[in-house]
Amino acid sequence: MLEEVKHVILVLSGKGGVGKSTVSTQLALTLKEKGFKVGLLDIDLCGPSVPYLLNLEDQNIHQGSGHWIPVYLDKEKKLAVMSIGFLLKSRNDAVVWRGPKKTSMIKQFLEDVYWQDLDYLIIDTPPGTSDEHITVMENLRNVPQCSAIIVTTPQQVAIEDVRKEITFCRKTGIPIMGLIENMSGYECPTCSECTNIFSTGGGKSLAEISKIKFLGSIPIDPRIGALAGKGVAAVKELPDCTTSKVFNDLINHLPHTTANGS
Amino acid sequence: MSSVPENAPNHCPGTQSEDAGKASACAGCPNQNICASGVPAGPDPALEIIKERLANVKHKIIILSGKGGVGKSTVTSLLGHALAKLNPDANVGILDADICGPSQPRVLGVSGEQVHNSGSGWSPVYVTDNLSLMSIGFLLASPDDAVIWRGPKKNGMIKQFLSEVDWGDLDYLLIDTPPGTSDEHLSVIQYLSAAGVSGAVVVTTPQEVALLDVRKEIQFCQKVGLPVLGVVENMSLFVCPNCQARSEIFPATTGGARALCAALGARLLGALPLDPLLARCCDSGADFVAELPHSPAVLALRAIVAGTRLRNIARPPRVFYTLPV
Ligand SMILES: Nc1ncnc2c1ncn2[C@@H]1O[C@H](COP(=O)(O)OP(=O)(O)OP(=O)(O)O)[C@@H](O)[C@H]1O
Ligand SMILES: [Mg+2]
Ligand SMILES: [Zn+2]
């Protein structure tokens, strides 16, 4: 049911914990603030964090005639969300599935969710280059407007895995829109000295070497961390922080579409 | 490969392969129906082979976390170095079961090394005299190489690692895993079901987004009957190198690992502070325990090591079955 979706944006990283879900949710919230119709699909089946991040943990998916109706963040239905988290009985429930089951769940997410017309569908992914990723790629092969944003943190341990993800994109033919570096530095709340906890500049130099557009650096900002679980856009809540600037700029790099007013 | 039965035709794809029973070579094979049905015939003979191979490995400990990037690989390498140093007569091995994102070669400073295959199996790479490592990273031609594999191929690789690596006598085998509760984890536990596992060390960071996934991981351990040796809270506090003030970068808004342990009846092994020098050491592959023996992180590590060892002895290895296929 992706016929009415104008653009699909995959958020990828080979490494875990680099901030894919934070980038996905903030990107979706930023687009919603700008008046677009957005969908957010969480295909991290073993560790879905989107429902928590958007403060939707108690929501349920409703069954339509032969399809699933996503959860809407707002009354105006500008932001639609789908995650396996909505299908679990308890937040402690573990999804202990091998590849084939994950594959069929993701196929259902792509085929059976009634997204309606969307300007952007953002897909948040787990780390790695395995079942989830292969399945999404195979199923999006026929969706023309599809590209990827790569998220990394600056240190070598992360860069090493992200290089593998770039190879994955190139092998499967998905265009890479650009790369975001997250957790670049941390400003001490006492003395304001900025420490590069996870070293510095790794994302930018990776972008240069791999000939990928660099979309900006996001610092470690506890104020952004505190937005987790609230479901509000950084660009609205903290318009002057670096993170908001990066997301505002990011919108300009997205493939263009006219805001869907209807 | 061990997954090819003796009576199989030439070019058998192997019973664990996605093409099992479906490849052109399968036509006429007596096992074709069993393979095509996807139901393994009887207990996997690999379990016994693995049991024999690991007969001289005393404690097998799995490092787990539902959440990515919380420091599983860092904690694994720190534990490895610390256990090896604590007792120079002990032998410690690390198996990197993260097939798509192997970090151990870099973190232990041995990336670029090669593994050798001899008559007795694959020899692991020795980081020090009594610390050895096996990782898929050693088998890739370039750091850009991506391992684009679905579950069954990853499982086959893990089976090979467990059945074909010649570890020698080990006191500890630490197994680093990718985040989640899926193929790699199930395979490690399943393949070790005959050999026996001591238990799991679960790593988390203090913020709720991480705890959310760690609760699932602990539930997973309970589901599959894997004892939780304890929980390590990583990146707990940040000490500013400029003014020494402490701050919470990842605030424990819901009580952190301590509250989680209390709620789930798990034991908190200790908390590691967030130390930029530790991140540097991971990148350069330096041995943090040797470089900065008096740092707060190494002091915290001592308690964690002590806890891991205590629990190890107290708990006899257990055997578990009925894993989802
Ligand atoms: N206590 C700490 N202080 C500072 N940096 C740390 C600490 N623990 C881990 N790190 C750094 O955080 C990053 C993530 O750690 P690590 O790679 O060990 O996580 P992981 O859980 O194995 O990730 P993945 O899920 O991707 O396998 C690394 O760059 C590591 O050096
Ligand atoms: Mg790791
Ligand atoms: Zn300071």
ipTM for the whole complex: 0.93
Q: How confident is the model at residue B317 (pLDDT cuts 50, 70, 90)?
A: very low
> DSSP code of B139?
G
Q: Outline where A113-182 has alpha helix (H).
A: 131-140, 156-172
A1-24 mean pLDDT: 94
A226-255 mean pLDDT: 95
Q: How far apart are CA A149 and CA A18, in angstroms?
A: 13
- Contact residues, chain A, for B214 at CB < 8 Å: none
B30-42 mean pLDDT: 61
Cβ–Cβ below 8 Å for B207 and A17: no
Regarding the beta carbon of B67 and ligand 1, being less than 6 Å apart is answered: no
- Locate tokens 């993260």: which residue? B98
Residue A62 distance to chain B (closest CA, Å): 24
Closest Cα in chain A to B242: A193
Regarding the beta carbon of B280 and ligand 1, being less than 6 Å apart is answered: no
Regarding the beta carbon of B275 and ligand 1, being less than 6 Å apart is answered: yes
Report the separation in Å between the CA atom of B277 and the middle of ligand 3, taken as the mean of its atom positions: 16
Pocket test for ligand 1, best of B234, B282, B287, B301 (most atoms within 8 A of CB): B282
Higher pLDDT, B278 or A64: B278
Pocket test for ligand 1, best of B63, B65, B70, B74 (most atoms within 8 A of CB): B74
pLDDT digits over B40-53, tens only? 556 789 999 999 99
- The rounded mean pLDDT for chain B is 88
Which B-chain residues 208-247 have CB contacts (< 8 A) with chain A?
208-210, 212-213, 215-217, 219-220, 223-224, 238, 240-243, 245, 247
Q: Residue B247 is which amino acid?
A: S
Does any CB of chain A come closer than 8 Å to the CB of residue B130? no
Report the separation in Å between the CA atom of B158 and the middle of ligand 3, taken as the mean of its atom positions: 45
| Domain boundaries of chain B, sorted by first residue | 46-199+272-312
Cβ–Cβ below 8 Å for B179 and A160: no
Ligand nearest to the CA of A194: 3
Q: How confident is the model at residue B1 (pLDDT cuts 50, 70, 90)?
A: very low
B58 is in an annotated binding site: no
Residue whose C-alpha is closest to residue B275's, from B299, B305, B303, B304 = B299
Token pair in block for residue B188: 């490690």
pLDDT digits over A85-139, tens only? 999 999 889 999 999 999 999 999 999 999 999 999 999 999 999 999 999 999 9
Contact B33, B21 (CB under 8 A): yes
Interface with B, mutate which of A96, A186, A210, A221 (most B CBs under 10 A): A96
Q: How confident is the model at residue B205 (pLDDT cuts 50, 70, 90)?
A: very high
Residue whose C-alpha is closest to residue B135's, from B173, B95, B187 = B95
Nearest CA to ligand 1 atom 18: B71
Regarding the beta carbon of B236 and ligand 1, being less than 6 Å apart is answered: no
Q: Which atom of ligand 1 is found nearest the CA of B203?
A: 21
Contact B270, B233 (CB under 8 A): yes
Ligand nearest to the CA of B246: 3
| Domains annotated on chain A, with CATH | 5-252 (3.40.50.300)
Closest by Cβ to A163, choosing from B68, B143, B279 = B143
Q: Is the pLDDT of residue B121 over 90?
A: yes
The pLDDT, as a whole number, for residue B23 is: 73
Q: How far apart are CA A139 and CA A143, in angstroms?
A: 8
SS3 content of chain A, % helix, strand, coil (to 5): 35, 25, 40
Interface with A, mutate which of B37, B182, B205, B278 (most A CBs under 10 A): B182
Conformation bin of residue A133: beta by default, left when phi > 0, alpha when psi is -120 to 50: alpha
Token pair in block for residue A200: 């510095």
SS3 content of chain B, % helix, strand, coil (to 5): 35, 20, 45
Cβ–Cβ below 8 Å for B243 and A193: yes
Contact B35, A15 (CB under 8 A): no
b/e string for A171-187 if b means 16 or more Cβ within 10 A?
Answer: ebebebbbbbbbbbbbb
Does any CB of chain A come closer than 8 Å to the CB of residue B88? no
Question: C-alpha distances in angstroms, A232 versus A29, A72, A193?
Answer: 7, 14, 28
- Contact residues, chain A, for B148 at CB < 8 Å: 129-130, 133-134, 168, 171-172
B281 is in an annotated binding site: no
The pLDDT, as a whole number, for residue A259 is: 57
The pLDDT, as a whole number, for residue B118 is: 85
Q: Is the pLDDT of residue A20 over 70?
A: yes
B119-140 mean pLDDT: 96
Ligand nearest to the CA of B272: 1
Q: How far apart are CA B188 and CA A140, in angstroms?
A: 32
- The rounded mean pLDDT for chain A is 93
Report the separation in Å between the CA atom of B64 and the middle of ligand 2, taken as the mean of its atom positions: 10
- Contact residues, chain A, for B147 at CB < 8 Å: 129, 164
Q: Which atom of ligand 1 is found nearest the CA of A16?
A: 26
Closest Cα in chain B to A172: B148
Question: C-alpha distances in angstroms, A100 versus A56, B98, B124, B158?
Answer: 28, 19, 32, 18
Helix H or strand E encompassing A177: strand A176-187
Please name the fold of domain B46-199+272-312: Rossmann fold (3.40.50)
Q: How far apart are CA A195 and CA A80, in angstroms?
A: 37
Q: Is the pLDDT of residue A213 over 60?
A: yes
Q: Is the pLDDT of residue A262 over 60?
A: no
Regarding the beta carbon of A15 and ligand 1, being less than 6 Å apart is answered: yes
Higher pLDDT, A3 or B1: A3
